[in-house]
Structure 1
């Protein structure tokens, strides 16, 4: 396994990156329509076509998920993905009409120091199209790329991270996170990640815990204060299990627990924390109780993906860009 979201067979990932504007988009596509749900725990979310993912809604499966920078402007990115999928003949057919289904969520990266003078229309439809056309199986870039290009946190540069695991039942569970948090992924002023207990090998530096955690280390560290803090961590957890939308919803909720184990504070009023959960349906669950095992794995892989995104990030080229973990501590 590659320790990436694409370890779940049938999932491809593509990025589009604009280092001039300091933003980008990341497309997650399913080879065949997948069952998807979403759990939003942040107080300031931005999303597109997520209502249809609720368990009581009619449509059971969708073609992909788009994650984008740009705040509300980034909600144009799923439209670019739909254009690319329509070109490829993807989508469900309704009396001759072809309808690709893409849900999306955005991060607020408008104040990261890079210029946002893109003219009358934002670039996000084109970024979504480019990311979708770039989607491939196998390895993909992490860090300052795609939707994580302009991501920041309270302490170090944010970015795109990913991680995967195999459960005792043989199911693969994997996550992709775009870390752009109000809170901090690191402890105090040091290099240690809050997600350190869940690290596998040295995937984010193997620094472990500090010798002790002082009261100052757990004091609030929030980006953008004293004005209202605005940010968001978004992402997706996926599995090869056969799940209903209701079960996917539970998986998304438990993956949000991983976000809260990796970032302090999480789910703040200015965060838009949103996590999708997708099931490709390749391997049935032997028993309903196995959903708890998937949820446990989802918690851990999402926490690891958050830390890994910050560990992989590089300091951006624009003036005033936030310094990366590597520049501060490596």
Structure 2
């Protein structure tokens, strides 16, 4: 176990980023077509091909899930991932052709200080290229923090980032999470170093400092970043269990609890919070509703941990006025 979503068999993750632009892409590539669904609880989502993930829709399996910066411009990242998958002979069979199924979600990182001329109508966006590079780089090991879709991410007070975590549920099956934290609020309590997700931490994975001795009304006062459209936390949870598409939808809904545990606030009108859920099917199916509940609870826990890890591991962007990283302020 590496404490990464790739502990779930059948799943690889790759990143690509543009340093000058301060943005990036993360691609989760499934080794075979995989059951998936999603749940959107934020008020301002940006997505591509997510309607097909509804349980009543025909297509059940996906080939990849893409998380990207770039706001709506970033939706081009899936084009690059599709081209890479097509070269690998992957996709939904339609006559003599195969169409790779690649749902995607984006976050807003346009105002982090990077140079993004395409947002002014100048030149082409880099996202299709970054998508292809991220897919080609997919492996069992990948970087956390300022990487991939989390490269340009921020929170209200600190640099955001790309996080991941995993655990073995009481059922014996593995559940993992991958998240790009670009929240309208905070992952930390008040003005201090403590993470809201501290009760769920394992083995000091984001500092091991727990909660503060007391949490005051000042600590729970809401802190906001930016305005409408400048936020979104996007995530994928995966398990090696055998799930139906409706069960994957339930897993995604339950995993949103992890965002609520790790970020204050979550699911706001200003956020586009979405969680994808995938089941690679290499271990058994849940034996009953209680076993499914174990998977759901584990998914929420690992997503909370992953969100804190993403902020904890981040490094500040090299731009004037960039938000400080947790390690810059509290690393001592």
Tell me the residue number matched to 2:131. Answer: 128
Distance 2:286 2:98 in 1: 36
SS at match of 1:281: coil
Partner of 2:78: helix, strand, or coil?
helix
Shift of 1:320: 2.0
Q: CA contact under 8 A between 1:183 and 1:265: conserved in structure 2?
A: yes
Query: Scaled by the length of structure 2, what TM-score is found?
Result: 0.97
Residue pair 2:242, 2:286 contacting (<8 A) in 1 also: no
Q: 1 CA distance for matches of 2:149 and 2:228? A: 22
Shift of 1:229: 6.3
Distance 1:228 1:295 in 2: 30
Determine which of 199, 204, 207 is the counterpart of 2:206: 204
- Within a 5 Å distance, the mapping from 1:299-310 to structure 2 comes to 299-310=300-311
Match of 1:296 in 2: 297
The residue correspondences of 1:105-116 to structure 2 (distance < 5 A) are 105-116=105-116
What is the match of residue 159 of structure 1?
A: 161
| Partner secondary structure for residue 103 of structure 2 | strand
- Structure 1 runs of 4+ aligned residues shifted over 4 Å read none
2:330 is matched with 329
Structure 2 portions without partners, runs of 5+:
none
Matched pairs, number? 327
Shift of 1:318: 2.1
Distance 1:50 1:229 in 2: 19
In 1, are the aligned partners of 2:13 and 2:26 still within 8 Å (CA)? Answer: yes
Unaligned runs of 5+ in 1: none
- Say whether the 8 Å CA contact 2:44–2:229 is kept in structure 1: no
Q: Does 1:99 align with 2:82?
A: no
- 2 CA distance for matches of 1:209 and 1:155? 18
Question: Is residue 35–residue 278 contact of structure 1 (8 Å, CA) maintained in 2?
Answer: yes
Q: For residues 155-199 of structure 1, give each alpha carbon's deviation from its aligned partner in whole angstroms, at most 9, with x where no partner exists.
A: 211000000000121100000010000010000000000000000
Question: C-alpha root-mean-square deviation of aligned residues, in Å?
Answer: 0.9
CA contact (8 A) 2:108 2:229 kept: no
TM norm structure 1: 0.97
